[in-house]
Amino acid sequence: LNSSAFSHPPYFLLIGIPGLEKEQFWIAFPFCIMYGIALLGNISLLLAIRAEPSLHEPMYLFLAMLAFTDVVLSTSTVPKMLGIFWLGSGKTGFPSCLTQLFFIHTFSTVESGVLMAMALDRYVAICCPLWHSSILSVPVVGALGSLVLVRGVLLVSPTCLLLCRRHFCQQHVIPHSYCEHMALVKLACGDTRVNVIYGLFVTFLVAGTDLTLISVSYTMIVRVVTRLPSREARWKAFSTCTSHVCVILAFYTPALFTFLTHCFGQGISPHIHIMVANLYLLVPPMLNPIVYGVRTKKLWDRVVIL
């Protein structure tokens, strides 16, 4: 056998949305609008939080981390995706593909971690209000953000290193709109069990840890809020959490759907799976600034001034 057949291909070919090749030219327009809204919303949030000293509180600092993560996450996929849909430029070199994969998976992990940190912030604000500013001081918030970022880099880097060590057969067409871990693993030759097991381990570790901590935080919050004497106090406490709950649902619902379809969804048509995978990287970055901007008067007033 020719040994060059079992090496890294010079490029991969991303085909976009399998089964919707003709329609994807038009699908790109709403995607482009969503990306524009995501960029405008998140950059406005970042500028507003930076410019206003009264917004240098844990909740807004975590929100700034979320906005930055969303900008990176959507920018690492959407421009290339629009190039595929409009120009048919699906060719991507092996290093570019791995770089995109690294950014997508690292910042998805970071987003999950920031949502978990925001749940802890809500828990401390509602359950220990007098201690909130001393427990979650600015240095502590910064340290939490750094830990979340380092965790993402340390967990995702081995997936790229493992893929670098794999040989790829003649097949180099990726039936997807972006370079995603399992899509690349399926193109590798030989036994890919280590890649699959490590990918599952990271997914279960991140989602399991973060969702458990989010659930525990909200269980404690509900217990404290239901004991508050006045209905008005209960409503006020719950309303500070609704934005966060909306954002959690917008992020985890498509994420879990995408993950479960990879593992068990052989019966689900590829175009539905890829569409949800695309929306998973577009809908949360678009919705997060809208949800927080509209529901948080202090933030909305500052964004309007901008």
Task: Enter the DSSP assignment of 189.
Answer: -
Sign of CA dihedral 257, 262, 264, 267: positive
Q: What's the pLDDT at 3?
A: 44
- Residue 193 has, within 13 A of its CA and on its CB side, a CA count of 1
Q: What's the pLDDT at 296?
A: 66
Distance CA 121, CA 83 (A): 40
Q: What's the pLDDT at 6?
A: 46
Q: Which residues of the chain fall short of a pLDDT of 70?
A: 1-7, 170, 262-266, 295-306
Distance CA 155, CA 162 (A): 12
pLDDT digits (tens, 9 = 90+) for 1-43: 344 444 677 889 999 888 888 888 999 999 999 999 999 999 9
Q: What's the pLDDT at 303?
A: 64
Distance CA 1, CA 91 (A): 26
Domains identified in the chain and CATH numbers: 11-301 (1.20.1070.10)
- β-strand pairing of 91-93 with 11-14: antiparallel
pLDDT digits (tens, 9 = 90+) for 178-198: 998 988 998 888 888 999 999
The reply to whether the predicted model has a pTM over 0.85 is yes
The structure tokens listed for 49 are 């939080």
The structure tokens listed for 306 are 């901008």
